[in-house]
């Protein structure tokens, strides 16, 4: 398989506090991976560093074989816009734009032809069940619908990888399940690599692989293989309890 993310001795400090400590990590193309760990373990810092949002103090990161360390700021910004998608817990939708306009915004900024924009949108409408809300504004739709909108916006640029930071954290259980099923479907249908930060073992059970952080280091990982979500959930819960992770 093709390595889409690779780190070597990745370190990150804020002042004298070292948050990430010599992390060696490989993510294969098409993987759906969760990163878990107790509060303060470095989960979000790792996600932001891999996504080029935050810098790092030591080691290197390669995305699709390209070193982030070697990229100038403008090149990194362009690379992030074209090859990465982001889903955040607070949606980050623009209230003055409709659902459709929010989804198409990244393509509009890239000056993509309208015909191509509509073609890409059509592929996502059914997968994310958003046809009925396309012409609504964010204030007129539910939290689950907002998160599906954010997922569509992240996917529509055909990114190599989607980074999701606690995407189910603000959702009720039904909406969370729907979003996880749709992320799983997008991962399988479009072969998009998804890297998700979560404290929720239920959310992590939808992934192919779970990586556990503690005190800025990778301390464990497990693969789903042929297990059901319930079987994988039970294993995740056992490891999480041993590490002192949060429970939802």
Cα-based torsion angle of the residue sequence 170, 175, 178, 183 in order, rounded to the nearest 10 degrees: -20
Instruction: Please check whether residue 90 lies inside any domain of the structure.
Output: yes
Host domain of residue 165:
30-58+71-245
- Domain CATH for 127: 3.40.50.300
- pLDDT, residue 224, reads 96
* The pLDDT value given to residue 50: 96
Q: Given this model, what pLDDT does residue 248 score? A: 46
Residue with the two structure tokens 């074209």: 82
Tally of structural domains, the chain:
1
Give a yes or no: residue 24 inside a domain. no
Residues 48-85 pLDDT 10s? 999 999 999 999 999 999 999 999 989 998 898 889 99
> Would residue 91 count as lying in a domain?
yes
Has residue 208 been placed in a domain?
yes
Distance CA 108, CA 117 (A): 8
Residue given tokens 């297990």 in the structure block: 227
Is there a domain that residue 16 lies in? Answer: no
Any domain includes 4:
no
Q: What is the pLDDT of residue 178?
A: 86
Closest CA relative to residue 147, chosen from 114, 189, 116, 180: 180
Residue 19 in any domain: the answer is no
- DSSP lists the bridge partners of residue 42 as none
Cα distance between residue 69 and residue 61, in whole Å: 7
Residues of the chain with pLDDT under 50: 247-248
Three-class DSSP labels, 112-170: CCHHHHHHHHHHHHHHHCCHHHCCCCHHHCCHHHHHHHHHHHHHCCCCCEEEEECCCCC
Q: How far apart are the first and last CA of the chain?
A: 34
| Crossing angle (nearest 10°) for helices 99-109 and 114-128 | 140
Q: Is 21 a domain residue? A: no
């Amino acid at each position: 398989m093709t390595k889409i993310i690779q780190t070597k001795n990745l370190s990150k400090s804020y002042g004298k506090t070292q948050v990430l400590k010599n992390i060696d990590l490989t993510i294969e193309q098409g993987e759906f991976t969760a990163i878990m760990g107790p509060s303060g373990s470095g989960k979000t810092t790792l996600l932001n560093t891999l996504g080029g949002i935050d810098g790092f103090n030591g080691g290197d990161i390669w995305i699709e074989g390209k070193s982030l360390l070697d990229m100038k700021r403008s090149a990194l910004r362009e690379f992030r816009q074209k090859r990465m998608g982001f889903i955040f817990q607070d949606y980050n939708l623009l209230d003055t734009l409709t659902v459709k306009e929010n989804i198409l915004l990244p393509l509009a900024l890239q000056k993509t032809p309208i015909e191509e924009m509509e073609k890409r949108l059509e592929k996502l409408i059914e997968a994310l069940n958003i046809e009925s809300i396309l012409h609504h504004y964010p204030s007129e739709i539910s939290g689950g619908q907002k998160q599906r909108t954010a997922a569509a916006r992240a996917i529509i640029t055909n990114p190599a990888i989607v980074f999701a930071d606690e995407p189910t954290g603000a959702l009720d259980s039904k909406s969370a399940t729907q979003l996880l099923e749709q992320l799983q479907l997008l991962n399988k249908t479009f072969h998009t690599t998804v890297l998700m930060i979560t404290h929720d073992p239920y959310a992590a059970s939808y992934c192919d692989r779970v990586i556990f952080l503690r005190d800025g280091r990778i301390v464990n990982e497990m693969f789903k293989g042929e297990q059901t979500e319930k079987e994988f959930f039970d294993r995740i819960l056992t490891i999480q309890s041993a590490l002192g992770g949060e429970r939802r």
